[in-house]
């Protein structure tokens, strides 16, 4: 065995160690190997705040004529500071003097009262993430999460809300500071801008979701809030505008439309389909006699996607006049969308409303409304005709609300569903055939030419 001779006077700092982290273990170099490993395993001392080092009791010292307790404090956004608080005079004959044991207890009380040992206060005062940063993460996470991911339409609405209202007013505020006091001026601005109470409520609800989305490693909220709507002065949602159509108005709308849009309006009002569900219908979703429609996809922004909810996967039964109109519109096609443009792509919902529905309503002297008014019309008509509530929820794609609803199996009886659909009808005049598409009329404009 070889013997290693070393000079005890040699400085240990002059010893050269291998650059690799993993050293070869040899008995003759055990001392130096252990020292090298010790140097590598000792990390730089952390200078910032750490929850692992919470639980301060403070150090009792003498400052002038007083016993004081010294401890670390962490002001928001600043370096930590050495705080000092008086405990009692050092002179035993002066009023307020405390013996050693009482001084220790008083020091502990001062430190605890400062809040430096409170985990929640530590998080809130040291969290540097802003509302804008958390909102960006929340928006992405809400679409990619496995449990109840939001639809693109909802995500787009949220993004518009963040861009126009929340980020300009709360974006640079630390997430810990988004509380009742921060929300109150935002609500005042939105109300002053004329936003409806329902819109204000929805936008504030989004801000609450962003704050609640910040969680720790245990899934607990980092910034739990008890929201005070009275303090915020949140407007009360009442008399919310929910436009619908009468039977006469619906008949007039269908009569003034033409082409596939006439069939579309008839189908929306006669089935209660959502406009996105109607835009996503394909020939394969129709039964051979067109008496039953299967809803298994939707369309938004000309992109096919899954339906709004799991209850939206359903079948809808049509009365014979409406089924005949739909069958005539589908013709001999074996595939493709029921309602499509010349390129076979989905129709634009925005263009349909702006270029066709709204002008028709204007001609009829009816207040402007969207396609959802036809869905409300269908719901109202079904109840007027006393259709079973189970079937109403099934046809509309609404969730069951009680155990009794889950016990009922009316939705599984296809023949009964068709009987009810035929009995209740549509409530408006269904065209016997599709009117040919009317050409668009362009107004002549006189353009003045400069001399």
Mean pLDDT of the chain: 85
Cβ neighbours of residue 174 closer than 8 Å, sequence gap 6 or more: 76, 127, 128, 129, 130, 131
Residue 56 — very low, low, confident or very high, per pLDDT cuts 50/70/90? Answer: confident
Mean pLDDT across 83-107: 91
For residue 57, pLDDT beyond 90? no
pLDDT at 12: 39
Mean pLDDT across 169-181: 93
- Where are the CATH 1.10.150 domain residues in the chain? 131-232
Residue 295 and residue 293: Cα distance in Å, rounded? 6
Asked if residue 257 lies in contact with residue 366, where contact means CB atoms within 8 angstroms, the answer is no
- Where are the CATH 1.10.443.10 domain residues in the chain? 247-424
Mean pLDDT across 230-245: 92
Backbone angles phi, psi at 63, to 5 degrees: -135, 105
Q: 279 or 128: whose pLDDT is higher?
A: 279
131-232 CATH fold: DNA polymerase; domain 1 (1.10.150)
pTM above 0.75?
no
Q: What is the pLDDT of residues 358-389, one digit of tens each?
A: 999 999 999 999 999 999 999 999 999 999 99
For residue 14, pLDDT beyond 60? no
247-424 CATH fold: hpI Integrase; Chain A (1.10.443)
Residue 154 and residue 396: Cα distance in Å, rounded? 20
Cβ neighbours of residue 276 closer than 8 Å, sequence gap 6 or more: 153, 298, 299, 300, 308, 349
């Amino acid at each position: 065995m070889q013997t290693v001779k070393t000079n005890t006077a040699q400085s240990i700092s002059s010893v050269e160690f291998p650059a690799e982290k993993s050293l070869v273990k040899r008995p003759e170099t055990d001392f130096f190997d252990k020292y090298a490993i010790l140097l590598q395993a000792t990390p730089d001392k952390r200078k910032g705040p750490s929850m692992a080092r919470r639980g301060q009791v403070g150090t009792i010292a003498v400052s002038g004529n007083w016993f004081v307790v010294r401890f670390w404090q962490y002001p928001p956004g600043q370096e930590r500071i050495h705080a000092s608080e008086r405990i009692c005079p050092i002179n035993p004959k002066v009023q307020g003097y405390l013996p050693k044991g009482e001084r220790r207890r008083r020091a502990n009380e001062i430190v605890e009262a400062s809040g430096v040992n409170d985990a929640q206060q530590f998080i809130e005062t040291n969290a540097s993430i802003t509302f804008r940063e958390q909102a960006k993460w929340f928006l992405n996470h809400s679409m990619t999460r496995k449990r109840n991911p939001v639809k693109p339409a909802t995500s787009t609405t949220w993004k518009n809300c963040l861009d126009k209202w929340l980020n300009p007013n709360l974006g640079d505020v630390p997430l810990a500071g988004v509380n009742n006091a921060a929300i109150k001026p935002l609500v005042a601005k939105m109300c002053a801008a004329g936003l409806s109470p329902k819109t204000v409520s929805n936008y504030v609800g989004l801000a609450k979701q962003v704050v609640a989305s910040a969680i720790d490693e245990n899934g607990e909220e980092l910034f739990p809030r008890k929201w005070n709507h009275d303090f915020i002065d949140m407007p009360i949602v009442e008399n919310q505008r929910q436009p619908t159509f009468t039977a006469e108005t619906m008949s007039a709308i269908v009569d003034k439309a033409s082409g596939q849009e006439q069939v579309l309006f008839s189908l929306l009002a006669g089935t209660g389909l959502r406009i996105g569900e109607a835009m996503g219908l394909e020939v394969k979703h129709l039964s051979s006699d067109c008496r039953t429609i299967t809803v298994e996809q939707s369309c938004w922004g000309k992109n096919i996607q899954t339906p709004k909810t799991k209850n939206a996967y359903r079948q809808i039964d049509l009365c014979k006049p409406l089924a005949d109109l739909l069958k005539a519109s589908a013709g001999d096609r074996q595939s493709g969308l029921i309602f499509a443009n010349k390129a076979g792509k989905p129709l634009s919902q925005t263009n349909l409303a702006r270029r066709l529905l709204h002008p028709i309503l204007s001609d009829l002297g009816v207040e402007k409304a969207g396609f959802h008014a036809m869905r409300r019309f269908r719901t109202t008509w079904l109840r007027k005709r006393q259709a079973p509530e189970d079937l109403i929820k099934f046809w509309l794609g609404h969730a069951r609300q009680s155990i009794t609803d889950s016990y009922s199996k009316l939705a599984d009886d296809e023949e009964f569903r068709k009987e009810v659909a035929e009995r209740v009808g549509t409530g408006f005049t269904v065209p016997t055939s599709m009117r040919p598409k009317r050409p668009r009329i362009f107004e002549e404009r006189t353009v003045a030419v400069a001399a």
